Amino acid sequence: MGAREVGYMFSSAGVGALLGIIVSGRLSPGRFQGRVILGAAAGFSSIMLVVSNSEILLISMALATLAHFGNGLFNISALVAVQIRLTEEIRGRVMDVYAISQSVGLLGGLWTGTLAVSLGIRTGMMVEPSILLIMILTILVTHKSVRNLH
């Protein structure tokens, strides 16, 4: 695809992320907060696996919107979960580390791009969501405290 189609995909992702953030802001941290966080992350990763294999622009745009809805929901829900569990004395320092970890996560594009060049765009795009799904499943199975976060 060309620059126009890439622009459509980024716009679709932005719309989805904004909607996820808005919905997350309307949810109160409740009994199922851990499941919302893990479900949103798993939804994002799973849908991105499908996007990486989609050849139809409109379907890819709809999927990108849905995937990034999950990403926005995950990010804000996780941020709320961290914020409400911190004491005032350490909140600033922890949030600094949290912000740095979010920025480092963007470096995934660096190795995803490298894999896309060496393995092909579809395979390269499938690596990171696959790793994330394995991590999410591991947390879901082994960490009851995260699963039952409320």
What is the model's pLDDT at position 103?
67
pLDDT above 70 covers a percentage of the chain that reads: 94
Residue linked to tokens 């909140």: 91
- What is the C-alpha to C-alpha distance for residues 67 and 72, in angstroms, rounded to an integer? 9
pTM of the model: 0.79
Cα–Cα distance between 25 and 122 in angstroms, integer? Answer: 33
Rounded Cα distance between 121 and 113, Å, is: 8
Q: According to the model, what pLDDT value does residue 44 have?
A: 93
DSSP readout, 81-133?
HHHTTS-HHHHHHHHHHHHHHHHHHTTHHHHHHHHHHHH-HHHHHHHHHHHHH
